[in-house]
Structure 1
């Protein structure tokens, strides 16, 4: 039976440690020292504000990556130090007992190619030298050592000259034949025996009884603390109670400020002396006064139709501080460095909060509130309050200047961008250039379709097929799927748009980061397409995300539109329904599109069948006679000339669609050739 024992020398544990560390450290070192992956996407805007913002974002990413890199390098360095220590110990220890292959040639000190005669001659010489009766012992050598040495020499000699012993060596690797196998555990004996055994058991107990349950429990409760949208349950509950059917954008900002995610960011600096806390509170109060003045100047007010019980409120100092920082971002108010850091941390948390807020509104099917959530997203990205002029998202134009330009240059309404380009405002060269390069969404066509059917029937699965593309402001809206370019737009585009060779296919679709100079992260523009009933203020079909809309061609002409399908179930009753198709941008202000669309649901047409005619019995049959007695309908008898006779006796000519089907000719009628 094989035996099991602990490794007394500790070499097996070292081998195990070296192997495990190598498997872990090699990929960890490569992952830590590898060059940062290059972002395949690039900024689609080259204005000065976007260039400066991209530089700030790179600096922030570099600072964050440096901290993470330092921690990883420290862990990797410690791992390699342990690896070197174990490897050095193995090198000094040499091969352990039982780990070497029995080599009789090495024991005798002769070459592997020696003949049997040479082996015998060499052994005779060694026996005279190391025989216990003739050997002269050294200072630290005993007779037992001499006898063991001579036994090893004799065994090696016999394993090369004796046939039976040589067979054992070849078959079992040992001249003594098969040996009892002894498996060793790669744990040194001193670890489990002696005084250290209690400490080892204590370590096992801490790891298995406390460490693993703590890690698993922490992961489990952290997962349970988040909703499917990635926000805290407390935040979702606060949003649920404060979002209402008539909530406007102003109140949605307050609702956002109540998120629990802001507490770790803004509560961390609540400490300090009483004087410092008062100073912090005074700065927030002063900021709130500035915000109120700015909102009054820009006419950013709460909706007058909102109910008093629908107004959101802040009940904590953290929520009040977060609301002030959000409004400072929207109104582009310059802050001191400490508040700038807090504002940056708040903005980085917003994406998941905005997504959760929008999903709560969509869960109630509130149309206006859902659209307001999308408007708030684009407003925060561009730092342009909802209700102000979208001209402020162009570089070099402040919120106040945008309001004045929208009035003086009549740059308002759905065609605000075209009117601004036509005005060619002096002193805003960069804004004029970016405006000409700005693309807008064009809805080429939209229609309802049912697979395999010509009409929409009650309860059928309907596909709202929409064709979309981006066009430049000077492009004439599409008519029947085509679009033209205004007279000077080609020259404008050729002068303002540069497409390098080989990049045309890559820029065919919106693959890059959008113009967002005030947002602290790269932003990919996308639209949300939904179907709503504006009269009932209800979302009829939940939104679909669209992010790969084709860009115009290099010469400024519109590219081929791309088709998108929004699937839903038709209403259960036949009628003519009036809906509105909304295209809401989560990145650009003033880029939303709304198109009314009619859905006609018709009852399924009944197909006439010959089943009734087939089911009627013939007059001459017993069933026909009984049907006549009951007053039912019967088929006239073919024998008495009342019926059409056997259908197999007729042929139907359907070769001409214009003449239609003609009565078949009976088999007893003359053919045309006979009559002629």
Structure 2
């Protein structure tokens, strides 16, 4: 037995090989391309408004450019080429006749059926033997026959007869499929022989060298360098290092914005003459006198000094453009206006790295400053400026008139909580806004997703008390109530509870929506509805008419120690919710109670721990919540004693539980004796109050400074 290796000289097999190889490469690349091409923002609802700010065309162009940047031209061309090759290979496969190898069958050679008996086999063999014997038959020139063909035919007839009559030959045929026993086999290599024929070998080697010696190492190196070049927050490592050097323990929002100008990503935008072009004009505009602030861009004197001390041309221009963007300063130059809207999305992306650095140090002030800087950048509002600038047509002049002599800027919620007559008296009747502008601003305000926290508490799933080092769940209950909402329903107290699921309730334990039967079969079995794909409940995209990128709001929940000014529990980020936020019209709020949960390990010692809980939205100014929460950690032994004291007692005879117990066949206990006099009852009621099974919480919110 031997094995023969031969090349696909006739071109039968290589299209299959090329098609398979191309499919393995093209399909994953197609999946990547489709994911990059698909617009994620299409899944999110949007805040409905016809307001279009000045330079809306530049903002829209920046959004389109940002989406195009997610797509790779090289990847697109590779996918197109891959599908073209696959199509051509399919054409070759369908239009090329592939020779098929027939199995050796003695019955077919003799021309008889497999049910023939021994007598028929012998008679047929004798006839064929006499007919095709080499001594009696001559080649037919018309059929291009030769004596070798006839001899081979006679040998095949003899072997077929032996395979059916001779025991040893028949065993070979049954076991190996051939009367001569185990045969040699050939392996066809799916490459045309021309590729390895004399003279072409060096070209094949060259192709292999390019593929495996140059292209493959380049792709692997590019992937590895890309992973090492960027941090997990998606910014360049060099930018993260620069932000790390700019970190200060007491940095505020202005300090964060100054630090964001160090990003290396800006260097790809401003090269050569673009660095100094228009810089003097930008600085003259942003440092002009402003309304309610020393400068038109809203920066402080301290931030202006930092700008003047910068020597780096790129960083100085970026910081100037950032302040021009935040202050909505007109630059009267299309190229500068375009650059102004181009730097803002980069700066907002860098806030993620700034937040990560602040979290590593655990200082509360820089952490909040990073989150607040993100809000200001998305809304194009300078630090300390009025939150009312988030509404359409509101300008610093309008906001200053509404604030009056107050040092604390009016929030959107406070403005919308006033009666309509008073709001009109402050705006339209004073000529600050016309009636159409006023209605547009109110329409947007009534759609902004303000998460109003109703209750926050700690618990351990399945337990009544929290013991040291246990896995604690912080449960935050709240509703999305847009500013100015009317007819807000009262809170259902049952919605504020967090009931543990039963041990056998797999749907609840796995977070699946339980299915209710829609009917019953003839046998009485429940009919379940067809399975539906659970779509995520997403909040509307951030209303940010000046921001050149679609952004999904994120809510960050974390605990801090107000005495030490340190973070106690790292942030938990929420982008999806468990209940619908809007009705089917995409505009009317549902006021459904939302539940946010964050798990962390309890302190190792028992005691009362008071934290400050922050619920911060990264997209809107003044929509944050700050409140005190108290975590009560009991000693394990003390918790066991209280659990034993709190065991469920036997139900009273006249209670509903007692009646149900009696219905089950149990004997209800005797009624409790009533106190004869009210005074005696009062005297005996001096027992200690039963302790709550969850940690105490102060749910009064405090305004953000």
State the TM-score, normalizing by the size of structure 1. 0.68
Aligned residue for 1:446? 456
User: How far apart, in 2, do the equivalents of 1:546 and 1:430 lie?
Assistant: 29
Q: For 1:199 and 1:589, locate their aligned partners in 2 and report how far apart those are by CA, in whole Å.
A: 65
Give 1:593's aligned residue.
625
Aligned to 1:2: 2
> Is 2:427 the counterpart of 1:436?
no
The residue number in structure 2 matching 1:281 is 276
Decide which of 305, 312, 315 is 1:316's aligned counterpart: 312
Query: Greater CA deviation, 394-403 or 34-43?
Result: 34-43
The offset of 1:507, in angstroms, is 11
Between 1:549-558 and 1:105-114, the stretch displaced more is: 105-114
| Conserved? CA contact 1:155–1:175, under 8 Å | no
SS in 2 for 1:562: strand
Distance 1:538 1:297, change over 3 A: same
Displacement of 1:349: 3.6
Q: Give ranges in structure 1 of 5+ residues lacking alignment.
A: 271-276, 484-505, 610-653, 660-676
Contact 2:614 2:624 in 1 (8 A): yes
Distance 1:515 1:380 in 2: 12
Q: Structure 2 CA distance, aligned partners of 1:189 and 1:454?
A: 78
With 122-131 and 526-535 compared, the bigger mean Cα shift is at 122-131
Matched residue, 2:233:
229
Q: Please list, as runs of the form range in 1=range in 2, the aligned pairs for 1:200-279 lying within 5 A after superposition.
A: 200-205=204-209, 207-267=211-271, 270=272, 277=273
Of the three residues 544, 547, 552, the one matched with 1:516 is 544
After superposition, the C-alpha distances for 1:3-45 in whole angstroms (9 at most, x for unaligned) are 2423262544444224434565578779879995886733331
Structure 1 residue 311 displacement after superposition: 9.2
Gaps of 5+ in 2: 429-433, 495-533, 642-668, 675-705
Which residue of 21, 45, 48 corresponds with 1:46? 48
Residue of structure 1 in register with 2:363 after alignment: 366
Mapped pair 1:377 → 2:374: yes
1:584 maps onto 2:616 in alignment: yes
Distance in 1, matches of 2:593 and 2:380, equals 33
Q: Using CA pairs under 8 Å that are at least 6 residues apart, name the structure with larger relative contact order, 1 or 2.
A: 2
Q: Deviations over 1:472-498 (max 9, x none)?
A: 435699999769xxxxxxxxxxxxxxx
Structure exhibiting the larger radius of gyration computed from Cα positions: 1
The change in CA–CA distance for 1:77 and 1:436 in structure 2 (over 3 A counts) is: closer
Closer, same or farther: CA 43–56 of 1 in aligned 2, 3 Å: farther
Instruction: Check the 8 A contact 2:110/2:124 in 1, yes or no.
Output: no
Match of 2:151 in 1: 151
In structure 2, the partner of 1:664 is none
Measured in 2, the distance between the counterparts of 1:339 and 1:538 equals 41
Contact 2:348–2:377 (CA under 8 A) maintained in structure 1: no
Q: 2:556 aligns with which of 528, 532, 537?
A: 528
Q: Is the 2:449–2:482 contact (alpha carbons within 8 Å) kept by the matching residues of 1?
A: yes
- Which residue of 271, 276, 287 corresponds with 1:292? 287
| Whole-angstrom distance in 2 between the partners of 1:537 and 1:27 | 49
Which stretch shifts more, 565-574 or 147-156? 565-574
After superposition, what is the alpha-carbon deviation per residue over 1:609-637, rounded to whole angstroms, capped at 9, x for unaligned? 9xxxxxxxxxxxxxxxxxxxxxxxxxxxx
Distance 1:543 1:436, change over 3 A: same
Hey, what does 1:332 align to over in structure 2? 328
Q: Which secondary structure does the structure 1 equivalent of 2:235 belong to?
A: coil
Contact residue 229 and residue 355 of structure 1 kept, 8 A = yes
Equivalent in the alignment of 2:18: 17
Mapped to 1, the partners of 2:224 and 2:31 lie a distance apart of 31
Query: Aligned equivalents of 1:368 and 1:521: distance in 2?
Result: 27
2:557, 2:613 within 8 Å by CA — same for their partners in 1? yes
How many residue pairs align between the two structures? 571
- Answer yes or no: is the 8 Å Cα contact 2:15–2:89 preserved in 1: no
Relative distance call for 1:372 and 1:311 in structure 2 (3 A) is farther
Contact kept in structure 2, 1:375 and 1:589, CA below 8 Å: yes
| Residue 73 of structure 1, CA deviation | 5.2
Measured in 1, the distance between the counterparts of 2:105 and 2:351 equals 75
Q: Distance in 2 between matches of 1:226 and 1:73?
A: 26
Q: RMSD in angstroms over aligned alpha carbons?
A: 5.1
Determine if contact 2:388/2:410 at 8 Å carries over to the other structure. no
Give SS of 1:437's match: coil
1:466 touches 1:563 (CA, 8 Å); kept in 2?
yes
Change (3 A) 1:517 1:439: same
The answer to which of 395-404 and 66-75 deviates more is 66-75
Please give the per-residue CA displacement for 1:104-131, whole angstroms capped at 9, x wherever unaligned. 8999999999997899878977889994
Select the residue among 377, 394, 398 that pairs with 2:391: 394
- Which residue of 2 is the match for residue 492 of structure 1? none
Kept in 2, the 8 Å contact 1:130–1:149? The answer is no
Closer, same or farther: CA 383–24 of 1 in aligned 2, 3 Å: same
**Equivalent-residue separation in structure 1 for 2:49 and 2:72 (angstroms):** 28
- For the residues of structure 1 that align with 2:242 and 2:478, how far apart are their CA atoms? 37
Q: Is the 8 A contact 1:456 1:602 kept in 2?
A: yes
- 1:638 is aligned to none
Which stretch of structure 1 is more off in the superposition, 391-400 or 469-478?
Answer: 469-478
User: In 1, distance between residues paired with 2:86 and 2:462?
Assistant: 66
107 and 565 in structure 1: CA distance in 2 versus 1, 3 angstrom threshold = closer
Question: Could you tell me how far apart the structure 1 residues matched to 2:243 and 2:390 are?
Answer: 29
Q: Is the 8 A contact 2:388 2:394 kept in 1?
A: yes
- CA drift of 1:79 comes to 1.7
Distance 2:174 2:364 in 1: 86
CA 1:566–1:403: 2 relative to 1, 3 Å:
farther
The 3 A distance-change label for structure 1 pair 220 and 5 is same
Give the structure 2 partner of residue 564 of structure 1: 597
In structure 2, the CA distance between the partners of 1:594 and 1:211, relative to structure 1 (3 Å rule), is same
SS at match of 2:542: coil
Q: 1:13 to 1:406 in 2, by over 3 A?
A: same
| Structure 2 residue aligned with 1:302 | 300
- Take 2:321 and 2:223, find their aligned partners in 1: how far apart are those partners? 32
Q: Which moved more, 1:196-205 or 1:166-175?
A: 166-175
| TM-score for both structures, normalised by structure 2 | 0.65
Matched, 1:547 2:575: yes
Deviation, structure 1 residue 589: 1.2
Secondary structure of 2:453 counterpart:
strand
